[in-house]
Amino acid sequence: RVAFLAGDLKLHIWNSRLTAGEAIPFPLRKCIVTFDYHPEHIGLQYVTHWTDYADDTNIVYVGTVWGEILRYDVRRRRWLPSLRTHIGLRSLTPDPRNGLLFAANYFQGYLHVMELESGRHVGYILANVRSRFIDLDSARMRGVLSTHGQGVYQFSYRDFVRRRAGATLAALPDQVR
């Protein structure tokens, strides 16, 4: 068992007891300007948000605020070519079973659905909310999107799996009682 953390321009891979680990620098492009984070930089946020690990493929996905999705192959211990989405990436979740990657855009209120290996655009799921976390049920091809103070939304992505064509689906708010 391992833990994956990001936040200081490195991917940290630790054992489950957090007694041994390593820090692997991100493969940043030359156009990315970095800085040392200090507490006196009020209002400065981290450049990465959430990481996700796909057990089936042994790949860690790291989303950046500028829309780059870094991929690290844990088995081969090397960075893979990164994927691109739009600025405002908040969280991401891979679905290796169906070959899709879901990237939540915090500011624009949608999920960008891409092919897992190539990053090719498949479609959007519109929620018009500030997206936070994505949870998927790959067997049923359904997902849940939690938001920043605007509820939880359910969505189906069966059409994306079947057609692999550009489409837009709407997320439906959960009924809360």
Task: List the single range of 13-17, 29-33, 86-90 with lowest mean pLDDT.
Answer: 29-33
Tokens describing residue 80: 């893979």
What is the rounded distance in angstroms from the CA atom of residue 85 to the CA atom of residue 31?
17
Average pLDDT, the chain: 78
What pLDDT sits at residue 71? 94
Question: Nearest-CA neighbor of 88 among 134, 25, 131, 122?
Answer: 131
Helices (H), the chain: 158-163
Cβ burial 139-153 (10 Å sphere, 16+ → b, else e): eebebebbbeeeebb
136, β-bridge pairs: 143
Per residue in 76-101, pLDDT (tens digit) is 999 999 999 988 888 899 999 999 99
Per residue in 107-135, pLDDT (tens digit) is 888 889 999 999 998 888 887 777 878 99
What pLDDT sits at residue 72? 93
Whole-angstrom CA distances from 126 to 40, 131, 152 are 37, 10, 13
